[in-house]
Amino acid sequence: MTPAELSRTVLRAVRRAVDDGELDAAVCAAEQRVVVERPRPGGQGDYATNVALQLARHAGRPPREVAEILSRRLGDCPGVAGVVVTGPGFLNFRMAEPGSATGALVAEILGGGRRYGFAEETTGQAVRLRAPHEVRALVVMDSFARLLRSQGTPVRTSCVERPRPEWGDVLGVRVDDVAAAEPGDVDIRPVPAPADPTPLGRDAARWSLLHPAGHDHPRGGAEHLAQRESNPLFRVRYAHARTRALTRGAAELGFDGAPGGVPGQEDLVATLGDHPRVLRAAAGQHAPDRLARHLVGVADTFMASLHPAVLPQGEEKPSAAHRSRLALAEAVGTVLAGGLTLLGIDAPEHL
């Protein structure tokens, strides 16, 4: 990991801390760039930054406390072997051996399959979700319930009446209880859909209702069916289909994937490593849209950086580098498929 890549990694940690409520939102306006340099006398490790001292006033916290918050988020980042806070709040980084963190993350994703990022144990405390008899509210509740269950929370869904038959048949909406409101219910009330989304079919209709934030007005036009780059659902599903095509292409060339280091893919690796946190945040904030936007980011980064380099070109022979790139591409496909499933959307092998 280069200093520039480490700088971007620290910036992502700052933004995640703001998203999760650990740092004040004013921090986002303050952070412009993170200077990463070799440690000065008294420092430790390979690199250091004074970003916590820069953000402390905007965060309304002592610099060392800001540094501790960031260090907890940076210690597990691919390429980082350890983080130590020194002095008034300097972050000091010890870098991992090249490729070791990437290979470990890819192996973890492929080992977990579509359940990568899921909680291993249940919380034991059940949640009852309640939505009005409105199509967007019911679709959002359905996906939110999937997210909660992925994080180990038992869930029951409820509505004052049964969903319309077409909402179940086309959109896959179901509710556990048809009953009046009860104390402790979690109300799901996004901005209603402007029109009946069922003519779009299950996948496009659900995406049109889930991709916008709950307070935003959804758009239900045919744009969600377009097979072009302007359609984010198409980009996500196409990227997944391309990962499967790469696996088939590699098999024809006689090689398979093997987790290992993939130089130049730090941004993609960091985005994949962020997937469990995104699932927790989407579940904790009642926001399936956060997962939808995360999947778009994974797909776009993969297509721009890794996809063209996975298979050998021309007379090039398959090498260990190709096997590592293929394994990383397969990890991308695993994350995209798992995320789409939580949104109730199909992840096709061919597109």
Cβ partners under 8 Å of residue 34, min gap 6: 7, 8, 10, 11, 14, 49, 51
Chain-centroid distance of CA 109 in Å reads 13
Average pLDDT of the residues in 170-182: 92
| Same structural domain, 184 and 326 | no
The two three-digit tokens of residue 48, written as one number: 């250091």
| Same structural domain, 241 and 114 | yes
Could you say which DSSP state residue 317 is in?
P
266 within a domain of the structure (yes/no): yes
Helix, strand, coil tally for the chain in percent (to 5): 50, 10, 40
What pLDDT, on a 0 to 100 scale, did the predictor assign at position 99?
64
> Which structural domain, as residue segments, surrounds residue 249?
100-119+228-342
| Same structural domain, 83 and 133 | no
What pLDDT, on a 0 to 100 scale, did the predictor assign at position 2?
66
188 within a domain of the structure (yes/no): yes
Q: Which domain CATH number covers 25?
A: 3.30.1360.70
239 within a domain of the structure (yes/no): yes
* pLDDT, tens digit (0-9, with 9 covering 90-100), for 203-214: 999 999 999 999
* pLDDT, tens digit (0-9, with 9 covering 90-100), for 304-325: 999 999 999 888 999 999 999 9
Average pLDDT of the residues in 290-314: 96
What pLDDT, on a 0 to 100 scale, did the predictor assign at position 332?
98
Highest mean pLDDT range out of 21-25, 47-51, 237-241? Answer: 237-241
Which of 174, 189, 221 terminates a domain? The answer is: 221
| Same structural domain, 109 and 240 | yes
| Same structural domain, 242 and 258 | yes
| Same structural domain, 53 and 191 | no
Q: 99 or 219: which carries more pLDDT confidence?
A: 219
Burial of 5 (0-12, 13-18, 19+ CB in 10 A): middle
What pLDDT, on a 0 to 100 scale, did the predictor assign at position 230?
93
Which of 189, 221, 253 terminates a domain? The answer is: 221
Which of 328, 310, 340 minimizes the C-alpha distance to 78? 328
Which of 54, 80, 95 terminates a domain? The answer is: 95
351 within a domain of the structure (yes/no): no
What pLDDT, on a 0 to 100 scale, did the predictor assign at position 103?
86
| Same structural domain, 305 and 188 | no
Q: Which domain CATH number covers 272?
A: 1.10.730.10
162 within a domain of the structure (yes/no): yes
Confirm if 218 and 193 have CB atoms less than 8 A apart: yes
- Predicted confidence band at 273 (pLDDT cuts at 50, 70, 90)? confident
286 within a domain of the structure (yes/no): yes
Quickly tell me which residue has 């402390």 as its tokens: 56
**Number of structural domains, the chain?**
3
| Same structural domain, 336 and 253 | yes
| Same structural domain, 216 and 297 | no
Confirm if 335 and 298 have CB atoms less than 8 A apart: yes
What pLDDT, on a 0 to 100 scale, did the predictor assign at position 91?
92
CA 116/CA 67 separation, integer angstroms: 29
What pLDDT, on a 0 to 100 scale, did the predictor assign at position 8?
85
| Same structural domain, 217 and 204 | yes
Q: How far is CA 344 from CA 10, 139, 209, in A?
A: 33, 9, 12
Could you say which DSSP state residue 182 is in?
-
Residue 178 in this model has a pLDDT that exceeds 70? yes
CA 246/CA 304 separation, integer angstroms: 15
| Same structural domain, 248 and 284 | yes
Name the 3-class secondary structure at 284. Answer: helix
The two three-digit tokens of residue 297, written as one number: 């980011």
What pLDDT, on a 0 to 100 scale, did the predictor assign at position 101?
72
CA 325/CA 322 separation, integer angstroms: 5
* pLDDT, tens digit (0-9, with 9 covering 90-100), for 34-65: 888 877 776 778 789 999 998 988 888 899 99
109 within a domain of the structure (yes/no): yes
| Same structural domain, 179 and 264 | no
Confirm if 279 and 150 have CB atoms less than 8 A apart: yes
285 within a domain of the structure (yes/no): yes
